[in-house]
Every structure is written in structure tokens, then in C-alpha cells.
Structure 1
């Protein structure tokens, strides 16, 4: 509904004159609502019969007046109608940015107005607002009023929204229970696309979404940002996403829409503000975009409009003004302030970047312009006077056609000279190749197009027809003509042809079970056919007779495959849609894998739609996503294991075979052990063992320090019948084809004499026996003394001196005065050195072992020194009683240790 809704605040006419010129505005102030339509009218008088152009412009560009009908910001929203000398400017779909002073002028060139004045018509464009008023009766209620700075008619009907959902109320006010969670908005009926911003019943923390722009115009191939601010009454937002109004029945996240794959990005520059960026825009992207969020207890499902995006070709044109001036006109205001490129006879003109271009009077030349950065979308070329100049204009800059079909590529051309010597169509791998000195090749002579091209000529119009299209025919096609004095060698682009096959897209999954899936499919192509098109569907190679639309819903088993085609082109059906059928994992590089290297695992799957992949190591999930590879930047030994992947799409899944990853590395963690681990006796056997962590298994070599040739090879090194010359430091070397390593610590082997060992053992036994006998004798004496003198207690401490004399194998024991009853005595024992047995003679313990030293400490400082063995027996036996009576017994002098004296 295109309602005219405006309030005319001042209806006085204004008459202004200058040099017999005059203009009268019927209304000088107009207030209108955003989205409505307004008419601004005037009449003019003039006595001149010269040609003047009648234009409307705004005070914003009064220094360089621009006809509003050519202003990109007003494209498709403005018209200028002049009947007799009354002119009416009509503006539709008003924006707040349209607020300005509008003026009428007669112009004789594009730069200076012939007639202008300081006054005009002031237009104010305003938006609706919701104002809250507290209910005086019920404190829990709120009255919400829909207001505008423009006075509104009493018979206007309203529409109210609560949390974005339409409610049944047509009044200018709305009274309801004041809920802190809810937001409210209003609109005029017939102008639902221009509602007021939503406001909260209380505070600012209610649920709401506000879009920054209601409509955006953008050019094909460019990028666009669509933004909104949002708020949730609950702190935690579980999910949020943008969706297209194409899927309004069930919103689908754009990340799941294959049409936008790789072309969109969502980011939040600040909290509560979401921006959708779509790049490489296509005309099929033209639709309404909305934002949705969900919390634990609330879901924003708004019927309020979002942002409408319009994507068009760069609709640019050249307008010819009197006095040799050209103007480049665009369709969308997004290009305001851009630089422009001008072409003369198809060749770029250097130094020109303004949307105005002044040219030299020349009937032979044609002119074209383009926005800088969009040179592939120039305007049509124009002649200064009619169409008699040198000119070529293509009917279409881009054409998309289905594989197997036919296409017509046309252009109109003209030469300033009457006679054209040659003309033909051509294509090249690169757009600039034909400008090389070598002549471009006529398509009739190109073997690739043999029997498939035809050219028709009719009154300055040439049409190239290509049949049985192939995807390799996708290219840019140009036309060339040549006269006696001129050759069209344009740097302007020709017509770009894109040949594509149909594709089956999964629109949505309705049901998914283990053995079947119910899905809605769509037969899609980036080429949108015109007119009524009938489709053919195939399931497992069989034609489905009853399906002729572009959509198909059915039960699909994992083994099924689906395809579609256009009726009449059944031989050029789409690729088959099916569940993953094959999956194998491969590793790169394919040879040995060395620790620290980069390794890439690839999972290849034959699936349509493309599969998602899940990676496993030893049946544990590692990674999942759309990428069919797993990358080790620096693989380690811990990555060794069995890998496999699972490929799955909407119709099924399949597991790959297992791939064992073996990581090779040089020996590490080298250890050496010895058995036995205590001192090694002469004549015994010792075993040295070397081990390491390595892949492949290491070879071992044994070395002795300061000796060049290796001592042995193998993991175990055994030395039998060890001798003193075997003493030294030993180490091992572990080596495989990835490297080698030596043991860090050396092993010291000391071969000790057997005789010394035996002698040492006997010495220990003798000492133990002697000490035991001395202890028993002392206790016996004390017992006898206590019996004979039970009450006697010596006043001083007696000392016992034990001396030994060595003569004719006899000894005498001399006793000192009796010792105190509880006194403890220690002795120094010396053994005869006149022994005939060489094995047990001259044996002494110069430095007691640690074990014996510890016993000395336990015995409170007993001093053991100078021990000599007289017995010829290998294992002598001593009895305590015999120690005092046997003539061959060991005698000694027992002396009290000085530091134990107490008196």
C-alpha cells in the first residue's frame, strides 16, 4: 500500500522573481512520517524561449546542483512531473535523511543554475516513538502512547507489537501489565515496515532487538554490513544467529545455508551489538535479514521487520548536458564520494575522476564511465549526437546458462565511417590478451567451438549463439570491428558467460533415524531461469514421474542417491546427492615419519553434500569439523597410534579403515645397569646391561675408557673370570638410523684379591670371638668377687693391664689390682706374627669398615687395633674357657680406655 501521508503546516504561496523569472511554492513547510509519500509542487513563469532543463535539488548541494532524479540516494524513490508550467516532485519511502530544503530551478548547463533563490520547501521526516505514562489507578500497569512530531489524523489505525509479536490493538495507546521483561513497539497500519524502536515497560534491560537500518542498497560483488543492537532480560544468552526471511517458516542460521558458504561473517564490536557481514554479494542475496537470540526461558521470534538488502548490478549511466558536459549517474547512495573512471571510444581517459566530465566537441567519439573499483561494470557508451559515433554496447555484461543449453550473446555497434571491413566475436584466456600485437582469433576458427557457434547480423546488431554449452565455455566474449581508418580495440569489458550445472541442496532435515532420513531437497542453480521451468527428479537412476517442481521431500535410505534436471535437459542432470560411500585415510609424507616433522592426515570421502569429519586416535575423538584433514606441525613419539576418521552428512555416515602411525626417533632415555651391584670379586662374573627408548630398535656397542676398539656389541656385556686388569670405566653407545647416544654415567669395576677378601672375613670372625670371650671373662670375675666380698666396695678404680710376651709360644697374664665392681673394661689385643701359614699371617684391619665403625660407636668407644692371627686353621674356633687355660691361646694386655676414667 502506497499511502500519501503528509502534514502541510504552511500553505501560503511564495512568489519570487528575477529578470522576468518567477516561481511559486504552494507550501513551504511539510512534515511527513518515515516511510510515507510526499508531493512538493510549484509553478514557474518565464518569458524566454530558450531551452532550459527543469530540475529539483536540495540545499545540501546548492553549490553544485544535482537533479534529484539522478541522485543515487533517491533512486527509484523520486519523480518529476511537469505539465504546462506546473512541476510536482514526488518522494516515496521517505527516510529521515530526506529532511532538507527542496528547491526548483531552470538550468542551461550542469554547473550553474539559470534561476535559483534562497527559499524553498522545508521537508521534515520523523519517526514514530513510544512514550510510557504511569497508570494512576493501577501501579502495576503502564500506558504506552504511539506519538510523532507530526500531528496525525484521528482516523489512522495503529499496530502494536509486544516482544516483537503483533498484538490485537488498533488504538494510539496501549495499556498493559508492566512486565520488566517485555518491550513494546508501534507502527501505522499500511506502514508496518517502519515501526518505532522498541522500548521497555520499565528500565532498559528488557528483551528487544533494534536494527540500525531498515533498508540497504548494495552492488553486486561488493560487501555489506547489517547491524543490530539487542538485549536480554536474562544475563545468559544461550544462542544467537542471523537468518534470512527466505526461511521465515523455520529460521535457519546462515552458517548452515550453503548459499552463504565462505561469504559471511558475524562479529560483535561491542556488547549487545551484532554485525552480519556478507561479501561477494549476489543478486540472490536480496532479501530481508533478521536477528534471533534465545535464553533459558525466552526466545525472540519477532514479526517486526529486519533489514531489507537490495543487491543490484552497478546501474550506471552517462547523462549528456548542453555545452559538452557529461554526468555519471549511479543507483545506490553508498557510492557517494567515490572516484570515477571515464572511457573515450572504449579507452580509459587518464586524469579524470569526477562524476562530471567536460569533453571536446567531436561527433566521432563515444563515452562511458565506471565507479573506481568497479571497472568491470561500466555504463553503456553514449554518443554526443545520436548514435553515429564509433560505439559498441553489449546487451548483457554477465550471462549465466545451464550446461547443455544454448545461449545468445548480443551487442549493438556502429561506425562513424560507413564501410566496415571486418567484424567477429572472440574470447581469450585473459581479458588483456587480445590487445597484444597478435590478432584475436575468430570463434569460427577455434576448434573448441567447432559446429557449436553461429553469428547473426541485423541492422547494427550482432548475435553470437553457442549451443551444447560446456563448463569450459565459461569466459568473457567480445566483439571487434575494423574500418579503413579506425579499429575498435576497447579496454571496456565484454559479456562474461558462466556455464554451470544444476545442484541439489538440502533445504532442511525433517526426520533423522538410524536407517532412513526425511529431507526436503531443492534443485538449485546460480543461474535463475526466466519463465515457467519444469524439473525432473531421479532416485537411484529412476525418474520420479509425479515431481515437477524445484523442491522434493521424501524418505531416503543411506544407500539412495538423488539427482535433478530441467525438463528437456535430462541428460544434464545435477551431481548425485548421497551419503558418504567411501572413506580412506592417507598420511603425507607417505614414507617413514620422523619425530619433529610435519605430518598431515587426509580423510577423503565421496559424499554429496560434502561430509563433516570426526577424527579418532585409538578410538578416542580428537577433532571434528568440515575439514577433512588433521595436521601435526611437529609430531612426537606420543602421537604414535592407530587413526581413523568418520565421514558423515545428512544422509548417512561411514568409517574409514585404520591407519597406523609409527613415529621414528633416535635413542633417548639411555640407562646402564650392573649385576651384581656390590663389589666384584676376582674370578667372578659381572653383567652390564644397556637399554634405551628408540624407534627403530637400537644397536648397542660397549667401550672401555681410553681404549679405541670396542669391547663388545649387543645390549648385554658379560665379563667372566674377572681380574684386576678388568678394572676401569665402561660405557655403551646406542645407535639406529635416526641417530645415536652414549651413556652419560660411566661404570667403575674394581677387581679385589680373593686372599684379601678371605683374610678380611677371618679377621672379622676373630674379632667377634675375642670380644665375646673378653666380655664373658669380665662378667665371670665380677660374679666371683661379689660372692667372696659381697659387702666390699672399693674406694678407687682399679686398672687391669694385660701384657703379652712372645717367647717359645708361651704367654703370661698379669693382673692389676682388683677393679671396681661395676667397672667396664676394654682391651687392646695383639696376635703373634710368627705364623707359618702365609695365608693368615700379617693380617691387619687398618681402617674398619663402616659396618664395624657403627658397632664401635654402639660399644661406647671400644678401641680395636693391631689384630694379628696366629692360628693355622682356615676357620679357627675359640672357646672362652680355653682362652685362659690353653697354652696356645691368644694373650693380651687389657688396658682401660683413658677417656672412660671416672676417678
Structure 2
């Protein structure tokens, strides 16, 4: 086990397994295949690479070395050119060893990182195929042991994460926002309103969520998410965790029943598994104080608030999470976003990304179409050249009947927008006036309305295509203008409004 942990904020766990891809002397091996790191810290991902000094009677020279996580259509996107990593990545390379350093880690940095080098040889490009899986995690407080008294709780707390961090890390503990102590655990007495959080020493700005100690050992139901958006026809998982005291009134507690419901009739909770509207479409997947409701073949009528309930052998041993989980079932409503990088002249690319109003479940993928023909299955689609005759759109696998709008060659910034006022003609004080801004832009433009006062001061009004003055006054007279902007440019147009008094 090899661990990097320095005062500069490195907090990682490295599983040291050498992975070799070797063919005629071409070789990439990673120091680690799995790394766990805390949000906000800095991580080093390291590899070594080898190549024959001569090949086909020519001396070999390395031309380019870089790390990437995105690859499609034969393009490997150098992380140094990706705007999401701007100012946060370094390549530290020398003597056939290359380290990727990522600072100020975000949970969105969790990915598989791969190294690639190219040479002057015709076959001299190689990628370490396995890569390194980086998991960026947040912390949470876990109750290891507890004893409940009339007015307090004695408990031993541990600072945990979703992946295993190094055992030697030191933690800082806070109670009610006040620093209490340092150490791997926190043992003491806690009262009903005490909130506890923890952080890795050196990363105190990235604390865990504050937790009521009593809530983890008393009767309770907590939901992983309180709002879920899912697609019609897909499958969704709704998760919860439930807790109860192991003993109550001098009796051992046993769970007798667990179920999910949306309907309550005269204190009767209807188990979804008995509801004809969900027949054959629901499962309860429960164990270790966790329970998942899985609903398949979703319908828009499934949009509702779902709650979990469990019962025990204790007199007051029935409990449900009062907040519940709000499920919204909708069509995907996809859009294609365009992003270009020119940070490295030798590595320019256009990235098309498929976006939905709902977060895509892990088991689904996007399908890309070029001129209405399927060309790939991934979230990102990279192009070396976007030809004027080409068009692109995307859909979710299994939801092809709901494609995104077609994206055509994005060669120009938005054209100057047209602005209109409704109703047209004379505007009288007290009336309702609707200003509309529109532009021919692809990708779609974002609109912003402004008002310019007589003293030339500019007031920002709205970020919508329409701006409504519901009861206009004479003081609202003046020059209004809107801007249309996408990643390719910006344009604007104005209109003069004069309000007539009664």
C-alpha cells in the first residue's frame, strides 16, 4: 500500500497494482489503479511509459504526453485544454515518468484517468488501457457505539467516506460549529440539539454535513434524495435509510414490516405492492437498514410523493419519513451544448454534450446521430472538424422517440435579435406590456433584458426571452435593449418605450 499525504493538502489512498500494456517494447504502467481522495484536496496520478529507442530503423522521439478522461471519434481530449479543469491540472513529466496533479478536487472529478503518449513513429501512439479510477468523496459522521440515557447520549463517532481513506489521516471534530478536538474518533456525551461534523486536518474548509447524534440511534427515516426526476418508460430507484433503538422499554427491537406508500386512508397506509396501478412494476429491495423502491416502466401518472414506513414489535414502533421523495416523471427534453477548446493549438476540438432536464441514470447512455445516422453511444461527442454540411442530434438509449433538436454547423454568433412590444401602438399608464427578444442562433442563445436610464446607467432586468411590465408607469419610459449570447458570440438590439399618461 502506497500513500501520499503531505501538508500541501494531498489526501489520497493508492492501491498499488502495476498494469502493463506491452507490445514490442511499447508500455504504459500505472502506479495505482484506484485512488480515493477528499473533496478540496490535491491528488497525484502517476504512470511510467517505455518505447523502443529505434523502430523500423528510425530513432524514436516522444512528441506529446498528456492525460485524458474523454475520448470519442478518435479524439483524446488533453485535460489541460478542458475548461472544467482550467487552472487545476499540471503534467509533471520526465525520465519516462508522468504525474497528473489535480488540485481543489471536486466530486465531478470522479472518473477514469488515462495517459497517452505519441512519437514520431507511424505506430507510436499508446494509451494505458486500464487507467486509474479516481473517486472524490465527501465525509459523513457515523455512530459506532452508543448508550442512551434520559437526557443525553454517550456515543463513539467516526469520520467516514464512501470509499476507504488512509488509516493514518487525522481528523478535526466540531460540535455546534465549535472546534472540539482532533483524532480518528470522537467519544463523549451529546444532547438532543447537538450537531457534530468532521473534517480532514488541513482541509477544514471541507467539513462533513452537520449531524444530530440522536437522529442516528433513535427512530428515524432519511432519504438519499428528496427530489428525483426520471424519464417516462425508464426505471427509477428511490432509496432510504431507517434507524431504531436496538432496545426500547427493556425489550429487544425487531423489525416486522417495511413498505413504501403514496396513499393514506383513515390511518391506513397502502403498500404500493398491493396497488393495481403499480402491479408488476414495483420491487422492495431491503437489507441492513436500507430500503430501495424500484419502479419500472414509469408513467407520468407515477409522479407523486413516495414515503417509506417500517413497523416493529415495540408499542410505538411504527415510523415513516414525513418528508418523503418527490418523483417527477417527464420526457427527456434534450439539448445539445457546444464547447470548443483552443488552449493548445495542436489539440483543438469541438465537444458536443447531450443535456437533459433530468440527471441520466448510470445504466443509460446517450446515442449520437450524424446526419440522422447513429455514430456513437456516449455523453460526449468530439469532432476534429465540424463541416457545414453536417448535422448532429442525440437521444437517450431506449428513448429514441424523444430526440434533441438538430444542431447544424455553428459558424456564426447570434444574429442581431429582433425586439417587439405587445400590444403595439400607444402605451398607456397602468396597462400590461410584453417585450420579446428573439435571434437566429445555433446553439440556442441566452437572452438578457436591460434598461438604460437617462443618465446612461444600465439596469439588468431579466434573463428570459420575454420581459413583462404588468402595470406600466410613466417612469418606466426609456430605452430597453436585449442581448443574445451563446459560446460563439453576442449581439444586441434596443427599443424605445414611451408611456402616455391618462
The structure whose residues are more often strand, as a share, is 2
TM-score (norm 2): 0.46
The structure whose residues are more often helix, as a share, is 1
Larger radius of gyration: 1
Higher relative contact order (CA 8 A, sep 6+): 2
